[in-house]
Structure 1
Amino acid sequence: MAVDATMPTTIVSAPGTGTSTSNKTSSTATTGIADNFQTFLTLLTTQLQNQNPLDPLDTNQFTQQLVQFAGVEQQLKSNDQLKSLIDIEKSAQATQALVYVGNTVAVDGSKAQFDKSATWNFQAEKDTSATITITNSTGQTAFTGSYPLQQGNSSFVWDGKGNDGVQWPAGAYTLTATGKDSSGNNVAISTEVQGIVDSVDLTSSPPLLSIGGQSYTTDKIKRVIRPSTSS
């Protein structure tokens, strides 16, 4: 186990960027309104062509109807434009999510998938003495220890060994970190999980990234981390 006060080199910050609608129902309603509008215009034109010059149509009435339908037509256009914007947003979300596949990222969270090693990142608001506890999926304590953390970012890599030196099996593990300063006051420590994006579920809205068996939306990603290279 090791605490590294230097964060892995980052190559890009990634702030995150879903609504679900019934396209069939919306399309049917839009088509129905559009058909009614065309029918109204046809009837109005026919009435104007065949009206009695001595008893003309009430212009106020059909003018009001025309204005109402014109408003409906504008609403239809607005709905189409809104749908286009939603489609563009969904496409952008999918494209952004696909970029992460195969990359190592840091996301908000405390649960990591252990397989030979597991990495968590911390951010402490001031220098602190931190107590780190790692538990498995059933809540059993796998490891606990105390480490000094400097203000800012640091990382913790667990090799899967418990306090007794016994190797724990691969699986999901949760890390909790509590800190106190030199005066014994509590210090807030936020945790991040580091792992490789295995896949993206594009059927979800917004898309879900799979990282070590856990699902995250793109807005949870804090950093994309450059893989280490050896010469």
Structure 2
Amino acid sequence: MNVNETASYPSPAKSSSGGSSSGLSADFTTFLKMLTVQMQNQDPMNPIESSDYAVQLATFSGVEQQVRSNQLLEALAAQFSLVGMSQLAGWVGQEARAAADVWYSGMPVTLAPNPVANADSAVLVVKDQTGAVVSREGIPVSTELYQWFGGDAAGNPLPEGRYSLSLESVRAGEVIQTDPMEYYGRVIEARGGAGGVRLVFAGGIEVLASDITALRAPPS
């Protein structure tokens, strides 16, 4: 057997794909056995250089260490995910602020407007699930919290359902900027997923945890 024949035995990377430490140990034992057979059957007139053995051993060891490192990183990532979810569990029952759709149930909704600094008036625009505007309501040009009571253009209560809110900043009668309206919603669930952790508000409205801008205890 010459040195070129050593490439015919199974790749350690493939045999380690299972990701278990026992699998790695078995692969390493198999590698040593094959290396021993290779030494026993080498051509006495053309023996394999010791440096070639060292290269083979170092290569396998490097692959083994890389697999172990990957396993460690995966374990750490899983633990960090669990820590994140346990921390977010404390958010359930709290009120989180975000720019998202609102589920209106007849109760006032606390808004957190942020009009443009040089605006001389501000308008709350309310749209239903079809995208139709159902209300335009003038509100103070202020960042103070504002209670929205859910009236339509005629002042009648809106039916229960999902609505989108936006804020128009107006100067000299012209809209200079339109922004999503932030509001405080009660968190009823924290849910993990491929896109990240999501908080669920009333009505099944989901908001990414990274989009939450403030958190507070519900008013007593």
Q: TM-score range by the shorter chain?
A: 0.7 to 0.9
Q: Which moved more, 1:78-87 or 1:112-121?
A: 112-121
Counterpart among 114, 128, 131 of residue 139 in structure 1? 131
In structure 1, list runs of 5 or more residues that go unmatched. 1-24
Counterpart among 142, 145, 153 of residue 163 in structure 1? 153
The Cα shift of 1:103 comes to 0.8
CA distance in 2, matches of 1:46, 1:216: 61
CA-to-aligned-CA distance 1:79-136 (integer Å, 9 cap, x gap): 1121122112211221132111111110133x11111222321223414211221121
Does structure 1 residue 173 correspond to structure 2 residue 173? no
Higher-RCO chain (CA-CA 8 Å, sequence separation at least 6): 1
Which residue in 2 is equivalent to 1:104? 95
CA distance in 1, matches of 2:212, 2:94: 12
Which residue in 1 is equivalent to 2:219? 228
CA distance in 1, matches of 2:138, 2:195: 41
In structure 2, list runs of 5 or more residues that go unmatched. 1-13
CA distance in 2, matches of 1:205, 1:95: 18
1:169 match: secondary structure: coil
What one-letter code is carried by the residue in structure 1 that aligns with 2:19? T
Percentage of pairs with the same residue: 25
CA distance in 2, matches of 1:27, 1:108: 47
Which residue in 2 is equivalent to 1:214? 205
The Cα shift of 1:196 comes to 0.4
CA distance in 2, matches of 1:44, 1:224: 62
Q: How does 1:86-105 map to 2 (within 5 A)?
A: 86-105=77-96
CA distance in 2, matches of 1:60, 1:120: 73
Q: CA RMSD in A?
A: 3.1
Maintained 8 Å contact 1:127/1:148: no
1:123 match: secondary structure: coil
Q: Determine which structure has the larger strand proportion and give its number.
A: 1
What TM-score results when the alignment is normalised by the length of structure 2? 0.76
The Cα shift of 1:187 comes to 4.6
Query: Against the structure 1 CA distance between its residues 174 and 203, is the aligned structure 2 distance closer, same or farther, given a 3 Å change threshold?
Result: closer
The Cα shift of 1:53 comes to 8.1
Which residue in 2 is equivalent to 1:79? 70
Maintained 8 Å contact 2:166/2:179: no
Which residue in 2 is equivalent to 1:8? none
Query: Against the structure 1 CA distance between its residues 104 and 28, is the aligned structure 2 distance closer, same or farther, given a 3 Å change threshold?
Result: same
2:157 match: secondary structure: coil
CA distance in 2, matches of 1:185, 1:159: 24
Larger Rg: 2
Maintained 8 Å contact 1:126/1:187: no
1:100 match: secondary structure: coil
1:37 match: secondary structure: helix
CA-to-aligned-CA distance 1:3-54 (integer Å, 9 cap, x gap): xxxxxxxxxxxxxxxxxxxxxx998443566543331122324555787988
CA distance in 1, matches of 2:77, 2:69: 12
What TM-score results when the alignment is normalised by the length of structure 1? 0.73
What one-letter code is carried by the residue in structure 2 that aligns with 1:218? A
The Cα shift of 1:163 comes to 3.0
2:159 match: secondary structure: coil
Query: Against the structure 1 CA distance between its residues 30 and 189, is the aligned structure 2 distance closer, same or farther, given a 3 Å change threshold?
Result: closer
CA distance in 1, matches of 2:215, 2:176: 30
1:228 match: secondary structure: coil
